[in-house]
Each structure stands twice: as C-alpha cells, then as structure tokens.
Structure 1
C-alpha cells in the first residue's frame, strides 16, 4: 500500500469504528451520516466518498463485526480446550458480544438487508457447522458426549441455549448466587438428577 492507500484505510477504519460505537447505544434507523461524521471527526462527503450510503457503511460494519466474532470462535474451537470448556464458550460467548452489539440491533440491521442475511447464513454454514460437527464427533469419540445424542439434536439444543443466553446473563445479575452460571453449566451436562 502506498501512503494515500494507507491514509484512506485508516480513515475508513476510523469511520467504521465510530459507527460501531454508535450502534452500541443508538437504534440503527436513528443514526444519520451527520452524526457519524461528527463522532468520527470527518466530513460527510468523506463518508459518502468511501461508502456511498449509510446503508452500505452499516453493512460493512456488520460484516466486519460478524467476521471478527467468527474468527474468534474458530480460534477457540480449534484450541486445546476440553469439551466442557468449549460448550461453556459456545453458551456464554454472547456475554461479550452483547456488550458490543445486541441481537435487537443486529436483527434491525438484517431485516431489510437480505444480501447481508444471506452472507451471514452462508458463512455460518461454511465455517461454523463443519467446526461443530467435528467437535461433536470428537466429543463422542472421547466419550465426553453421549453416542445417544445425534448431531442435529445437539446443535438444536446449543442454539436454544444461545438464543436465550441474554436472559441467563440478566438472571445471573439479579440472582444472589455467585455459582449461578456454574450451576447452569452443570444442568447442561448432567440435568436435574446429576451424573448418570
């Protein structure tokens, strides 16, 4: 990259970072280019020159965010962790994600952006599902995951828990029990009756 390209990349990154920060506290539809311009300390013309429209900027911010989350997930799942640690990570990784972008914001961004929704579904199927299948098969081979549980059932159960993970986090903050999260993990592995 030459000097001009480096400066352009830095300015684009500054704009995207400012937009991501705004998405943590603003509804996407209420954000205006003028607000982004002020937060990023660049002109509105600069934003239009680099991104073309607010929608294209939001799409690029969401794509970057999604790819960063996916990369972190891939690195963790390929790491040297136990099945229990990986399952805890799958269930509770949303805690960090919610501090950045809530599901409501992500859903609002995706409602009218079918191309972005398609991109996310494609990447999920291409990158996450194969990792999960390998993880489940490895867990079954090591005896840490029951051979009675099919891949489809395991994935469905994990997805249910992840979809409701924000409710678990909210409950954990309200309940006067420091072991609440650990007990939820125990329920996941052993149910109400304990180890079989």
Structure 2
C-alpha cells in the first residue's frame, strides 16, 4: 500500500468510526445526515460520497464491519479453551454489550429498510453464528458439561428462547435494584433451572 492508499484508507476509517459513534446515540436513521457525519469527521460531504456512494452504503459497511469483527473476536474466544459455562456467560455478556453499543431498534430498522444488510445477517447466522453455536453445544456434550439426556437441538432451542427475549430481560434487569445479580440469576437458571444446584 503506497502513501496515497494509506491516507485514503485512513480517511475512510475515520468516516466509518465517526459514523459508528453517531449510530450509538442515534434515535433514528432518518435523523442521521451525510452533512452531520462529514462535519463530525471533519471531511467534506463529497469525500463521503466518493468513498461510499450513499448514506445507505456507508451504514451498511459500518454495520458489516462491526458484525464481522464481533464474530472474529468470538471465535478467538472459543479457541482459548473455556468451559461451557464460561462460553455461555460470555455470549450473554456480548449480547449485553451489543445492546449498549448499538440500540437494537436501530439495527432492526436498518435491516427492514436495507435488503443487503438483511441478507448479510441471515448469511452470517447460517454460515458463522449457527456453526459456532453448534460447536459450543457439541464440545459441551463431549466434555460431559451438557447432560446426555439433553439433545443438541434442545440446547439450541433453549439458547434461542433466551436470545429472542434478551432485550426484554435486559429491560427487567435495568429496573432491578441489583442489575448484575439479576443477570447472574438468569445465567444460573439457564444452567440449573429454578430448583437445581450448581
């Protein structure tokens, strides 16, 4: 990469970082304007259009980068030899962090309005997320951390139930006097039920 390409990549990265930071506090996508992104990133609007072509294309690239990095980081974590419980706790903590980093309603809005992004997330789920989750379950079965009475499909179903309602669970935790204790209790119930013991 020559000097010009390095400078160009630096500008592009700055625009994407600025856009991601603005997404974290955005109330809706329509309120985000190229003019505001350009001002915040200290570049011209023309520069943004030259690099990305449109606001939609910029937002798509920013969200794709975020998702791909999250998956890479998660896969690296799985390769560190953690227990099943640690892996599940890590998944839940990642969900909690992602809700803080990007409002879930905003991602949903983007997916509804952007077919490319919707297709991207569906592909990522099928090609990356689902196989990684199956790997966790399979390793848990092999290590004896998941009961032999429970099938991989049943574990996946339970995890999906939790993930589908995690936004609601986080909202309930936020209203609790002991937010962290509330979430720890949810993790405990995931592994041991309401009557089980660790």
TM-score of the alignment, normalized to the shorter chain, above 0.5: yes
Note the 1:116-195 alignment, pairs <5 A. Answer: 116-177=117-178, 179-195=181-197
Taking only aligned residues, the RMSD between alpha carbons, in angstroms, comes to 1.6
Partner of 2:146, secondary structure, is coil
| Matched residue, 1:21 | 21
C-alpha deviation, 1:82, in angstroms: 0.7
Note the 1:35-74 alignment, pairs <5 A. Answer: 35-74=36-75
After superposition, give the CA deviation of every residue in 1:101-154 in whole Å (9 maximum; x if it has no partner): 121111111112112211222122112222222221121122111222222222
| Matched residue, 2:76 | 75
Gaps of 5+ in 2: none
Per mean C-alpha deviation after superposition, the further-off stretch among 93-102 and 177-186 is 177-186
Question: How many Å separate the matches in 2 of 1:62 and 1:52?
Answer: 16
C-alpha deviation, 1:156, in angstroms: 2.2
Question: How many Å separate the matches in 2 of 1:20 and 1:134?
Answer: 31
Gaps of 5+ in 1: none
Partner of 1:93, secondary structure, is helix
Question: How many Å separate the matches in 2 of 1:83 and 1:123?
Answer: 23
TM-score for the superposition, normalised by structure 1: 0.93
> Could you list the runs of 4 or more consecutive aligned residues of structure 1 that deviate by over 3 angstroms after TM superposition?
none
Per mean C-alpha deviation after superposition, the further-off stretch among 112-121 and 171-180 is 171-180
Decide whether aligned partners of structure 1 residues 109 and 119 sit closer, same or farther in structure 2, where only a CA change above 3 A counts. same
Per mean C-alpha deviation after superposition, the further-off stretch among 152-161 and 164-173 is 164-173
